[in-house]
Structure 1
Amino acid sequence: MNNGNHHSLEGQCPDSRNTILVVEDNPQAAKLLSLYLLQAGHEVLVASSGCQALDIAAECHPLAITLDILLPDKDGWQVLSELKASPVTRDIPVVIVSVLDRQALGFRLGAADYLVKPVDRAELLHALKRCVPREGGASVCHKVMVVHTDQEELQLLAMILVEANYEVIQALGFEEAFNLAKFAHPDLIVTNLMAGGMDFLSLLQLLRAAPATARIPVLALSPWMLGSQEGVEMEEGIEFVLMRENELIEERLLSAITLLFKRDKYSAGEG
């Protein structure tokens, strides 16, 4: 175990199963992120430029990468694109840690999570825990997109799922949901039909019509069961969770999602 020193590319790579690459050109920020990770028992590699980050990632294949966007040579967007374009590095989860709040673009380019500075220790470790494999096993991180027309309600839904260890993408309204879904490929889309102005039918039609999103299951929180009178042909891939107006949704929502993912695991051959 590396006690307090982070590695450079010189010499051997540390154990890739426990190593996080911190890409950060601000020495103080790099030191703080490294400290959080070292205290949590990780080995740490630090890169202060985009080119150095790409070299280290290819050579050492870390467990995960934290990536700043404002770098001196290539910016973080370019680094992320190149990481995801290479067969050697594309499967490494990348958590963006930046002062720029550009979540949609981050997910579109393949980020596993997006944290806006300043980031505290719990937030960083939680983001990494969600999407890195445990003890060499396969990653069990499920990516869930939540859709709502109200920003506060959207954040509330997202918080419920983040606390349950899901990787969450937030989409405000159905158009943003469809555009993000094409790039982020969530495992599930959760929407609330009690949201004012939520055009669920349009969202469903767009998702089903595009090959990239046609097979993404949709979970709809609903005060009523949609029937043929709504113009929706009931089809596979849509689940309705019946809710009463002021009911607490946490338990019902989380149990519905758990059941859905369990069922999908058993029929995993379906793709």
Structure 2
Amino acid sequence: MLERLEQGNVALSQSAQALREARDAAEEANVAKSQFLANMSHELRTPLNAIIGYAEVLREELDILELKRSLEDVEWIHTSAHQLLGLINSILDLSKIEAGRMGIDLHEFSPLSVMQEIEGMLAPIAAQRNNTLQIVTDPDIGEAYSDATKLRQCLLNLGANACKFTENGQIFILARADGEDLVFSVSDTGIGMTASQMNRLFQPFVQADASTTRRYGGTGLGLTITWRFAHMLGGTVEVDSVEGAGTTFTLRIRANLREYGAGEDDIPNAVQTEAVLDNRLRSTAKPLALIIEDQPSALQLMTRLAQRANFETICAEEGETGLQLAYQHRPDMILLDLTLPRVNGWQVLEALQADPELRSIPTVVVTVDDDRSRTIEAGAADHLVKPIDHGELNDIFVQYSQKHDGAILIVEDDPGTANLYARGLNQMGYTTQVASGGGEAMRLLQQGTFALIITDLRMPDGDGFSLIDRVAEMPEEQRPKIMVVTGKVLNEEDGKALTGKVVRLIPKNGLSPRKLGRNVQNLEAHGNAA
């Protein structure tokens, strides 16, 4: 026992050192990136300011001289320079958010006043494509304590998008209070999107597809920044769309961030805002899912499915923050991407496995990497490859939404495989004992009561068929159910020997801890083979 404790301490110390080194390296990289962006900002803004300034001067002089053709040319120069300046500002905003240096300016303001400003800014943009703009604000919306500037930018991004992708149509923006939240819906009657196009939203420099970029222009940064600002303000952005019929974006933010732990000082970044909200979420009776994912569209999808399955959610966009949230909140399950900034998913898995308490949390890897066997060996409960199947992800949430009980005997001579099975069942709440062969299994059966036996058919001290026959001879009130997990190809004779004695037969190849647990759960629910 002392030797195990010492080994655990060494592993924890090594993991902590690796995390510190990764953190230091990430901080150095962020300093370098910030300095580069500051320099580039100065170098790019200086000539742009001159171009915009002289274009305005020329525009005034050409207007006086009534040189209409030249005036049109200068208007294009002026407009293009402003577009380029907006692009630079967006890149800088995104870089600040990713580096954790985007602050929140908390203050009290009137959402009604913000909506009036939005109307004045969007009206000329809507008119460019002959659109009608309608803005309706609930008079009982009240006051807000948040960041009005970031809210305004979110609504401008969404409203400008609606105007750009709609022609001879209508733009509706509705604002209302919903309990402790403020909800803003931005709807249009424009081109709409398909389901596959919606899955690509909220990623940096990505629009619905390449043809959209060619026809309508844009960088794809506006929605990414809107999505991240929304999370910094304690909220979310969701989208519903019908191709050819229009799109609705729904922005939801907290009306009063002061009530959730924010003081008069600025909140430094989105991670701290999420941590404040997490304390509130964990106080509920619902199960809690931690989602560690840096891709906004994937994070939004998993969050929506989790909430639909009656989970509360906490989110992290990089590994170090994810680990901090796991230590702080002990979630009921973790969804983990492998490609993360700062501390990657492999390091997160290693740190989770090094902690006895965090090791008991089922962690499902969701990534583009298809190295499934490696992630399972590293401690994952299962491995899903992007693009994920929505139904399977929903099944995962349902599976881990409640804990189970009952004693299970695992009969497996390979220690690694036995540990794999035990890990998955323990994470679902079952208690397990492991026997390396049939003889040891029978001794354990004499000492205790088990609801289920999970056994292979190949064993060093006699095969599994003998064990199954001996269990079948036990009194019915003491006889546990038997599930066979084997890599053996069964012939007709083998099948007859097992008939009536086992309740389920599962191929060993590709079996993950989660899938084993799901089979046990289904067996518990239905009581027979499936």
TM-score (norm 1): 0.55
Larger proportion of helix: 2
State the match for 1:36 in structure 2: 305
- The within-5 A match list for 1:106-121 is 106-121=375-390
Query: Would you say the 8 A contact 1:19–1:62 is kept in 2?
Result: yes
User: Is 1:90 the equivalent of 2:359?
Assistant: yes
Letter in 2 for 1:77: W
CA distance in 1, matches of 2:342, 2:466: 44
Query: Would you say the 8 A contact 2:368–2:385 is kept in 1?
Result: yes
Letter in 1 for 2:352: L
Query: Would you say the 8 A contact 1:18–1:63 is kept in 2?
Result: yes
User: Is 1:139 the equivalent of 2:401?
Assistant: no
Letter in 2 for 1:233: G
When residues 182 and 217 of structure 1 are mapped into structure 2, their CA distance, relative to the original with a 3 A threshold, is closer
Q: Which runs of 5+ in 2 are unaligned?
A: 1-178, 184-234, 237-272, 425-435, 438-443, 445-452, 470-483, 485-489, 506-518, 525-530
Alignment counterpart, residue 326 of structure 2, candidates 52, 57, 64:
57
User: Is 1:10 the equivalent of 2:304?
Assistant: no
CA distance in 2, matches of 1:50, 1:141: 34
Query: Would you say the 8 A contact 1:95–1:112 is kept in 2?
Result: yes
Q: Kindly tell me the number of residue pairs found equivalent between the two proteins.
A: 195
State the match for 1:46 in structure 2: 315
CA distance in 2, matches of 1:103, 1:140: 28
Query: Would you say the 8 A contact 1:25–1:48 is kept in 2?
Result: yes
Runs of 4+ aligned structure 1 residues displaced above 3 Å come to 1-7, 138-143, 177-180, 185-188, 231-243, 249-258
Equivalent position SS for 2:394: helix
State the match for 1:181 in structure 2: 417
Q: Which runs of 5+ in 1 are unaligned?
A: 146-176, 189-206, 209-214, 221-225, 263-271
Deviation string for 1:42-71 (max 9, x for gaps)? 211110000000001111111111000111
- The within-5 A match list for 1:154-193 is 178=414, 181=417, 184-186=420-422
Query: Would you say the 8 A contact 2:287–2:401 is kept in 1?
Result: no
TM-score (norm 2): 0.30
Query: Would you say the 8 A contact 2:337–2:365 is kept in 1?
Result: yes
Higher relative contact order (CA 8 A, sep 6+): 1
Q: Which structure would you say has the larger Rg?
A: 2
Measured on the aligned residues, the alpha-carbon RMSD in Å equals: 4.7
Query: Would you say the 8 A contact 2:319–2:345 is kept in 1?
Result: yes
Letter in 2 for 1:80: L
Equivalent position SS for 2:314: strand
Query: Would you say the 8 A contact 2:278–2:314 is kept in 1?
Result: no
Identity %: 26
- The within-5 A match list for 1:122-137 is 122-130=391-399, 132=400, 134=402
